[in-house]
Chain A
Amino acid sequence: MALLAVDGVSKKFGGLTAVDHLSLTVEKGMVAGLIGPNGAGKTTVFNLLTGIYPVTSGQVTFNGQDITNKPSHSITQVGLTRTFQNIRLFNQMSVYDNVRLGRHCRAKAGLWGALSCNHSTKQEELEIKNKTLELLADVGLVDRKDELATNLSYGLQRKLEIARALASEPQLLLLDEPAAGMNPQETKELTSFIGKLNAKGLTILLIEHDMKLVMNICQKITVLEYGVKIAEGLPHEVQNNERVIEAYLGKGASQCLK
């Protein structure tokens, strides 16, 4: 059974069909890619998966559970977390606090816990603290943990956002253009970081434009164009697919490349 099963999902905005009957699956343990030219609807797909937009039709199943149109916070709670294309960190919070916030859904304390300062709340806070420091260490941000998130460089902000997402202990991590704006060195680090995460058992679905990254790390790639899936398969299959080449480079391009 696939970890994530998207079945005939469509999204219409008024007259515009952003996603047209998309079906795809992501198997547990894999790194899958979702690519396509600008305007293909990739981020819209992520928004549909994470409950930001309601689907117009279709179904999304995660771990056998129907999560179609469920509220975003529930989806994160069952193990599906995402990062954002435009980086949405809590800018006025510190690096440490950002990651710690990610841990929110794996803890329970509420008003009573806050006021009573009881033992189990204290234990929970300790666990949160340890986990947060651990994640910060993984991404190499421990020494900057007290700085404001907004003061980090772009590349580090991306890492921070991923660390925050990891704090929610997802089974499936959706990365929306994680390498955007990165130089080749940073992209290389990111690639190996994603590889390490996957090796530890995390399933990943990423949207990317950086083909090197995608081809290197993805085991399966789905290609969208104008909201429609036009190709799917192993990296080298997709690379040589005429429709895909034309989608990116224009009609007749595949002829030129022959």
Chain B
Amino acid sequence: MMLNKFNMSRKLIYGIILVAVLILPLVINNDYIIRIAVVAGGYIILSLGLNLVTGYTGQFCLGWAAFYGIGAYTSALLTLKLQWSFWLALPMGGIVAALFGVLLGIPTMRLRDIYLAITTLGFGEIIRLILMNWTDLTRGAMGLPGIPAPSLFGTSLDNKYFYYYFMVVLVIVGIGAMVRIIDSRLGRALVAIREDELAAKNMGIDTVQYKVIAFAIGAFYAGIAGSFYAHYTTFIDPHTFSFSESIVILAMVVLGGMGSISGSVVGAILLTLLPELLRDMAEYRMIVYGLIMMIVVLIRPQGIMGKKNDSRKKKSKATKQGDVTHGVAGG
């Protein structure tokens, strides 16, 4: 009975939020606020993707902006140079990003912890450097201006309502898909990999395959966010997709709670609003992100929405190495 009540109030809350989100632009006809909402939506999608890889599968990834950028540039170039329709370019951005996710996932499958973190960081930097230096394709630091706005049957959809509601759809679908993924055989395997990769392997899980799948799905999300961003802002350049951006997205996931879908949503919204609130203190923006990461880890490591970890015993370095030599000594 209590459970039913709880589910009821949860559904009620979600329902209220959904209604509020749907009527927002009609009630608050303020361009600035609508824009922030759209940006927040983009970050929700980015955070959901990163959370899948880092929060649920335990693969620490510091190059997330790379997939964001790959999606953006893919979509922009397809519409600019090949006159593709937005409706095809958008998913293509996600797909190409996913391919790069696989590309990154396969060689990193054996790596753990810091090796993985640095490799993903390196990957992020490599992509940024390529975007910056392959001027024939990307125009380097000059960026790609004039990215066409989406249109349907000849009519341009370049108005704030379209962007807002389309983002709402993307976010709802994104969250919905993520919930389904987590609560499935696939999702359970990913969590098992995070908890104890060796045990997961011994329970029949092909951890390589699943890590790659996680990267691919997460990167797809980031690519979609990138594609949307390219057409929303109509101008992109490599500076947007830097290590700082990766940090921002990571901070959102950490703050919201790693391994929590609602956490990614909350973290993304809060850290999108933050720089707006600190408008006058723009130079302090990154410091605040850094401090948030430190404070969350030191004080509430599970983030805002995460569950507290019962860290009864910290694994010793030997068991952390991923083999059973710690137990070998007795056998």
Contact = CB atoms under 8 A, between A and B. Distances in A.
B203 A76 contact: yes
Nearest to B184: A114
A53 B186 CA distance: 26
Interface stretch (A101-109, A190-198, A245-253): A101-109
Nearest to A101: B192
A151 B203 contact: no
Contact of B310 (A39, A47, A148): A148
Interface stretch (A23-31, A58-66, A78-86): A78-86
Contacts of A114: 180-181, 183-187
Interface in B314-331: 319, 323-324, 326-331
B204 interface: yes
Given A52-B323, A90-B199, A168-B204, A110 B185 contact: yes
A62 B184 CA distance: 31
A92 B310 CA distance: 7
B181 A115 contact: yes
A151 B310 CA distance: 9
Given A44-B328, A86-B324, A110 B186 contact: yes
Contacts of A43: 324, 327-328, 330-331
Interface residues of B, number: 38
Given A88-B198, A90-B195, A77 B330 contact: no
B331 A91 contact: no
A1 interface: no
A219 interface: no
B310 to A, nearest CB: 5
Interface string B180-217: 11011111110110011011111111110000010001
Contact of B205 (A52, A105, A124, A128): A105
Interface residues of A, number: 59
A93 B198 contact: no
Interface in A25-71: 38-47, 50-53, 71
Residue picked from B185, B186, B312, B329, most chain A C-beta under 10 Å: B185
Nearest to B188: A101
A89 interface: yes
Interface in A106-153: 107, 109-111, 113-115, 117, 121, 124-125, 128, 148, 150-151
B309 interface: yes
B330 A177 contact: yes
B324 A93 contact: no
A97 interface: yes
Contacts of B312: 91, 150
A73 interface: yes
B206 A88 contact: no
B177 interface: yes
Contact of B217 (A90, A97, A111, A113): A111
B327 A86 contact: yes
A151 to B, nearest CB: 7
B203 A101 contact: yes
B331 A44 contact: yes
Nearest to B217: A111
Interface of B: 177, 180-181, 183-189, 191-192, 195-196, 198-207, 213, 217, 309-310, 312, 319, 323-324, 326-331
21 contacts: A43-B327, A44-B328, A47-B323, A50-B202, A73-B202, A73-B207, A76-B203, A84-B202, A85-B327, A86-B324, A89-B196, A90-B191, A90-B196, A91-B196, A93-B195, A105-B205, A109-B184, A109-B186, A111-B213, A114-B185, A148-B310
6 nearest A-B residue pairs (beta carbon) = A105-B204, A43-B331, A114-B184, A76-B204, A88-B199, A85-B327
Given A43-B331, A85-B327, A111-B213, 8 more contacts: A47-B323, A86-B326, A90-B199, A104-B203, A107-B185, A115-B177, A151-B310, A207-B331
